[in-house]
């Protein structure tokens, strides 16, 4: 009978490494002729996006774009009014990751680490800042393991269950957020949109039998100037996004990891039934990239030998980066922001927006410790009749702990943060901020495993049995498998002749009878 190796192919992704790179953005822009001169910049909102990603030798090349929404106080013949302008800038950079190669998988995260905007003169503004780029590179591998061997007669196999993070599925889902905002009749009509913003929060992805349930909220904020007035107003909406998609083979016992991005937005002013500009329609395309992994327990052959044949055993060492655990936590962050202008008392918050970025992370025993900042921008009214609008921009630090029992310092980790809600109010001449930040943490570890990949009978004289027995004294580290292999017998024979109850447990110094060993 011919030898037949029963094999199985397992596809898995190996986290090769991660790194960050700072991209400096410096641009000057001319205020359009249709807009008033600049008196003071109130707010700049930077929205980076990645347009192209290419994994190269030892690095990841990224091309992106930053959209700037600038809100400023303009000078008019009648006094001042709030204005908004939008610009964009392209950028490119490399993230160095040793061992990266073409066709590997890359996940990229990005956030604005710092952004500032100043008036160069009454018709020109300068924007400068730092975009933090973070890339993770995964190698896509296939492992061919030997699960069984037939046609070799009496062969002893050492089988061990081995855990592997197997890729169960990847999918990308398009979600559309639509909002129809209506201006109350007590407020003036919409003159023009100063800025609008879409923030995805309260994300939840659940695995069902053969399906994925995706749910999130799109928080929409619009700042607009009233028609025939200098007053500004804020409208907001929170739109539920939900969808179920089929993905064969997934179930609730698997691990799921997701990333949400806002790919495109569109904002339009519409007339109501009276012909007034009181409706604002916003549509945003939100992309959810979902990866599902299963913790696959594979019963593989780790070693083999024959009491009757000389065998050549071929093994290969594989290194795996396995998910140890992951968890989420929510944090309430509170801070009172001081007003910097003298003699300007805040009387009403018009708009408050924020973004979360993770600045540092480290593993301690059983925990992932995370440091981050919330960049908060606030536009508010003051009691100053001449300059009744002002703003502030502050970084609020926070710290968080994600409990992952059993996590060790030497393991690796990934942490990401989301801003679930942000509230701003006037409190004792300060701007009181209350934010809820959710932090997602994942801990991985490296594991090296030997797998049997081939077995070949060797020609030559077969092992010969002797009728005599051997008395063997066990040593530290011995197992019955190791002893049986050395003496060309079987674990079952040693267990039976010595009356051993637990074949997995051998004490050093035990005297064992080894039946008729072979002489080669």
* Ordered DSSP codes for 2-49: --EEEEEEEEEEEEEEEEEEEEEEEEEEEPPTTSPEEEEEEEEEEEEE
From the CB of residue 10, how many other CB atoms can be counted at a distance below 10 Å? 17
pLDDT confidence of residue 343:
67
Helix (H) and strand (E) counts in the chain = 2, 22
pLDDT confidence of residue 464:
62
pLDDT confidence of residue 243:
96
pLDDT confidence of residue 11:
76
pLDDT confidence of residue 14:
81
Contact 331, 373 (CB under 8 A): no
Dihedral sign for Cα atoms in the order 257, 108, 416, 289: negative
Matching residue, tokens 């061919």: 144
Describe the strand order of the beta sheet including 255-271 as a list of residue ranges.
Answer: 105-121, 124-150, 4-30, 156-182, 277-305, 255-271
pLDDT confidence of residue 159:
80
Q: What's the pLDDT tens digit per position in 193-236?
A: 999 999 999 999 999 999 999 999 999 999 999 998 888 999 99
Distance CA 490, CA 470 (A): 14
Distance CA 191, CA 328 (A): 43
Q: Which residues does the chain have with pLDDT short of 70? A: 1-2, 343, 460-467, 517-520
* Prediction pTM value: 0.80
Q: What's the pLDDT tens digit per position in 386-429?
A: 778 888 989 999 999 999 999 999 998 989 999 999 999 999 88
Q: What's the pLDDT tens digit per position in 438-496?
A: 999 999 988 888 888 888 887 766 666 555 778 899 999 899 989 988 888 889 889 99
Residue 60: half-sphere exposure toward Cβ, Cα within 13 Å: 26
How confident is the prediction for the chain on average, in pLDDT? 89
Distance CA 412, CA 441 (A): 11
Matching residue, tokens 């593993």: 363
């Amino acid at each position: 009978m011919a030898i037949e190796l029963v094999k199985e192919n397992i596809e898995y992704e190996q986290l090769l490494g991660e790194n960050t790179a700072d991209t400096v953005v410096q641009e000057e822009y001319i205020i359009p002729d249709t807009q008033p001169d600049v008196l003071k910049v109130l707010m700049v909102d930077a929205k980076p996006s990645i347009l192209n990603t290419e994994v190269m030798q030892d690095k990841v090349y990224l091309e992106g774009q930053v959209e700037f929404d600038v809100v400023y106080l303009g000078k008019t013949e009648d006094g001042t009014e709030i204005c908004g302008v939008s610009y964009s800038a392209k950028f490119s950079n490399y993230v160095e990751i040793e061992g990266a190669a073409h066709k590997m998988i890359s996940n990229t995260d990005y956030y604005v680490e710092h952004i500032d905007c100043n008036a160069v003169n009454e018709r020109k503004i300068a924007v400068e800042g730092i975009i933090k780029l973070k890339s993770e590179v995964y190698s896509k591998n296939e492992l061919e393991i030997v699960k069984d061997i037939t046609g070799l007669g009496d062969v002893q196999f050492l089988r061990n269950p081995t855990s592997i993070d197997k890729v169960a599925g990847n999918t990308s889902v398009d979600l559309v957020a639509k909002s129809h905002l209506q201006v109350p009749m007590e407020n003036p009509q919409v003159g023009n949109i100063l800025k609008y913003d879409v923030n995805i929060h309260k994300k939840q992805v659940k695995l069902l039998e053969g399906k994925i349930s995706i749910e999130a909220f799109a928080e929409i904020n619009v700042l607009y100037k009233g028609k025939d007035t200098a007053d500004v107003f804020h409208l907001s909406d929170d739109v539920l996004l939900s969808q179920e998609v089929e993905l064969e083979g997934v179930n609730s016992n698997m691990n799921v990891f997701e990333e949400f991005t806002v790919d495109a937005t569109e904002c339009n002013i519409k007339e109501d039934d009276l012909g007034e500009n009181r409706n604002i329609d916003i549509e945003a395309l939100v992309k959810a990239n979902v990866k599902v992994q299963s913790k696959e327990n594979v019963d593989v052959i780790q070693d083999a030998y024959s009491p009757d044949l000389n065998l050549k055993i071929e093994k290969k060492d594989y290194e795996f980066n396995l998910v140890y655990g992951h968890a989420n936590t929510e944090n309430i962050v509170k801070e009172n922001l001081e007003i910097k202008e003298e003699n300007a008392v805040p009387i009403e918050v018009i708009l408050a927006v924020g973004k979360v970025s993770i600045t540092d992370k480290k593993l301690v025993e059983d925990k992932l410790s995370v440091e981050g900042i919330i960049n908060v921008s606030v536009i508010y009214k003051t009691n100053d009749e001449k300059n009744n609008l002002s703003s502030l921009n502050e970084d609020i630090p926070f710290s968080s702990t994600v409990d992952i029992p059993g996590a060790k310092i030497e393991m690796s980790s990934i942490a990401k943060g989301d801003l679930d809600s942000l509230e701003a109010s006037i409190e004792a001449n300060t701007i009181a901020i209350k934010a809820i930040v959710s932090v997602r943490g994942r801990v991985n570890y490296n594991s090296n495993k030997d797998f049997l990949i081939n077995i070949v009978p060797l020609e030559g004289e077969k092992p010969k049995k002797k009728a005599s027995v051997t008395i063997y004294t066990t040593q530290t580290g011995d197992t019955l498998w190791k002893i049986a292999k050395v003496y060309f017998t079987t674990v079952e024979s040693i267990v039976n002749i010595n009356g051993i109850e637990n074949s997995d447990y051998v004490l050093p110094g035990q005297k064992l009878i080894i039946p008729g060993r072979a002489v080669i």
